[in-house]
Structure formats: structure tokens, C-alpha cells
């Protein structure tokens, strides 16, 4: 594909964990904005159903099923982006909560903790490494999905929260390191939401008082309207009353 054809092509977004919850909400919002969406999730069936929904709102989805913690899956994601000729936005949304009910850190199963870090920290870094040339070509954006657990120190949330704190630092570091490539990087705390993951954190309890992930849509519209260079390196709360770029 020539440079001119790449420039004229629809913008492309790659979203991990796109088959449900926040990932699905972001994917549908971007499809409605004219993006071609590369949608990734571990399980093919739910991902296929999500792709049908993306088609319904005018998107051009490509499904890549598989665990993003696996190197072969990340290579398939890169190949999908290369077929489209560009990558404008990477959303590292796929996350591992860990055991349910949530155990305290002093008794946390270490294999489970390693799994959390592989999915929530190592996989996003590895995916950035895999996709850096494509992102640089489009002067693209990276959005890493964080959590209020990254700063809260909540009992039981230590494994997940520590991984998201690490991802926040990864985001700030990448923002400095990738600036020379024209790539911007932010982390986003989406806030409490009524999702399957959040329900797993509170087995047997009602989370009906939490908003659905669609509550974050105004934030995504705001973020994508900002100068990428001004927002890069910052952490945002999607459910804040207002959003401002720190001075």
C-alpha cells in the first residue's frame, strides 16, 4: 500500500479485551466514528458476536481471537494491522483480575499473581514493542486501561491494583520514550462499572448501583479530540466531572 493510500484509508484501532464490558463500549464508539477496528478477545464466540455489532454500527471489524499474553497472538494482531496498512490507536484493555473472591496479598497464590502481571503489564509492553513501527508511521496513540485500585490500596485488590500501578508507570515511561516517534501514551482509570470483571470481584453481591461502561463514552470523545502531544504522559479518570490536561 502506498503512502497516499495509507493516508486516505480509514483510521484503525486495535482493542484488546473487546468482546464485552469496557472494551466492547470503546470498540462500538470507535466504529461509530469511522474507525476500522481490530478486535481481540480470548474467546472466539463472544468476539464473533461483538464483531457483528460493530458491523451494525458501520465499523469494519477484524477479529483476532486469543490470549494477548501469548506471543503468537500478538504477531497475528500485528499482521492484521499490517494488512490494513496503518494503526492509529492501540487500547490495552484486556485485564486479568485474579482469583475470586479476592485474596489478601499475604496469602495471594504466586502463580496467579504472575498471571496477572503477564496479562496486565507484560502483554501491553510486548504489544507496544510489536506494533511500534506501525504506530510511529501514523503518529498514533496508546491508551492503557488502569484502575482506581492502582492508587487505592484496597484490601483484596493488591494483586490487580499493583499490576495497574505498574502499568501507570509503564505509560508515563513510554510517553517519554516514544515521543521521538510521535506516539502519545496515556493511562485511563475508567472508574467503577457494572461489568463481569467487577462482578467477579464481589461474588454473590449486587453491583447494580454501578453504571454501565457506556458512562465513559463522553470521555473517549473528549480524549480523541485533544492534541495527542498535550495529553501524552498523563493519567485520566473517565468518570471525573470534568477533564483537563494538567499544565
Query: CA-CA distance, 90 to 93, in Å (whole number)?
Result: 9
Per-residue pLDDT tens for 34-44?
999 999 999 99
Query: CA-CA distance, 178 to 196, in Å (whole number)?
Result: 33
Rounded mean pLDDT, 178-190: 98
Query: CA-CA distance, 36 to 16, in Å (whole number)?
Result: 14
Rounded mean pLDDT, 177-189: 98
Contacts of 243 (CB under 8 A, 6+ apart): 219, 222, 223, 236
Q: Is 2 a residue whose pLDDT tops 60?
A: no
Give pTM, 2 decimals. Answer: 0.95
Query: CA-CA distance, 114 to 120, in Å (whole number)?
Result: 10
Q: Please report the pLDDT score of residue 26 as a whole number.
A: 98
For residues 146 and 94, the answer to whether their CB atoms sit within 8 Å is no
The single residue listed with the C-alpha cell 517519554 is 176
160 catalytic residue (yes or no): yes
Rounded mean pLDDT, 175-190: 98
**What domains can you pick out in the chain, each with its CATH number?**
3-237 (3.40.50.720)
Q: Please report the pLDDT score of residue 57 as a whole number.
A: 86
Of 35, 154, 160, 202, the active-site residue reads 160
Rounded mean pLDDT, 60-70: 96
Q: Please report the pLDDT score of residue 171 as a whole number.
A: 98
Helix (H, G, I), strand (E, B) or coil at 62: strand
Per-residue pLDDT tens for 136-158?
999 999 999 999 999 999 999 99
The number of beta carbons lying within 10 Å of the beta carbon of residue 141 is 22
Pairing of strands 36-41, 62-65: parallel
Entry field: residues in the chain = 247
For residues 99 and 152, the answer to whether their CB atoms sit within 8 Å is no
Q: Is 3 a residue whose pLDDT tops 60?
A: no
Q: Please report the pLDDT score of residue 59 as a whole number.
A: 77
Q: Is 221 a residue whose pLDDT tops 80?
A: yes
Q: Best-predicted range by mean pLDDT among 56-60, 176-180, 195-199, 242-246?
A: 176-180
Q: Please report the pLDDT score of residue 8 as a whole number.
A: 63
The number of beta carbons lying within 10 Å of the beta carbon of residue 148 is 16
Query: CA-CA distance, 144 to 174, in Å (whole number)?
Result: 11
Mean pLDDT in the chain? 95
Per-residue pLDDT tens for 27-36?
999 999 999 9
Pairing of strands 36-41, 141-145: unpaired
Least confident of 55-64, 110-119, 216-225: 55-64
Amino acid at each position: 500500500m502506498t503512502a497516499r493510500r495509507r493516508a486516505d484509508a480509514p483510521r484503525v484501532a486495535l482493542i484488546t479485551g473487546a468482546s464485552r464490558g469496557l472494551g466492547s463500549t470503546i470498540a462500538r464508539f470507535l466504529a461509530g466514528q469511522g474507525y476500522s477496528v481490530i478486535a481481540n478477545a480470548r474467546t472466539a464466540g463472544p468476539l464473533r458476536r461483538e464483531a457483528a455489532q460493530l458491523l451494525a454500527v458501520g465499523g469494519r471489524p477484524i477479529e483476532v481471537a486469543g490470549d494477548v499474553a501469548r506471543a503468537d497472538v500478538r504477531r497475528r494482531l500485528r499482521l492484521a494491522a499490517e494488512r490494513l496498512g496503518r494503526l492509529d490507536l492501540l487500547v490495552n484493555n484486556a485485564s486479568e483480575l485474579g482469583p475470586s473472591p479476592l485474596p489478601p496479598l499475604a496469602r495471594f497464590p504466586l502463580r496467579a499473581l504472575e498471571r496477572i502481571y503477564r496479562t496486565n503489564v507484560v502483554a501491553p509492553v510486548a504489544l507496544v514493542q510489536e506494533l511500534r513501527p506501525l504506530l510511529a508511521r501514523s503518529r498514533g496513540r496508546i491508551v492503557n486501561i488502569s484502575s482506581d485500585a492502582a492508587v487505592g490500596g484496597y484490601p483484596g485488590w493488591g494483586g490487580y491494583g499493583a499490576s495497574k500501578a505498574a502499568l501507570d508507570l509503564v505509560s508515563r515511561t513510554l510517553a517519554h520514550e516514544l515521543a521521538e516517534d510521535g506516539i502519545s501514551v496515556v493511562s485511563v482509570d475508567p472508574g467503577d462499572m457494572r461489568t463481569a470483571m467487577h462482578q467477579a470481584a464481589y461474588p454473590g453481591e449486587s453491583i447494580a448501583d454501578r453504571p454501565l461502561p457506556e458512562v465513559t463514552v463522553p470521555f473517549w470523545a473528549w480524549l480523541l479530540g485533544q492534541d495527542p502531544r498535550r495529553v501524552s504522559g498523563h493519567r485520566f479518570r473517565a468518570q471525573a466531572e470534568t477533564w483537563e490536561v494538567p499544565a
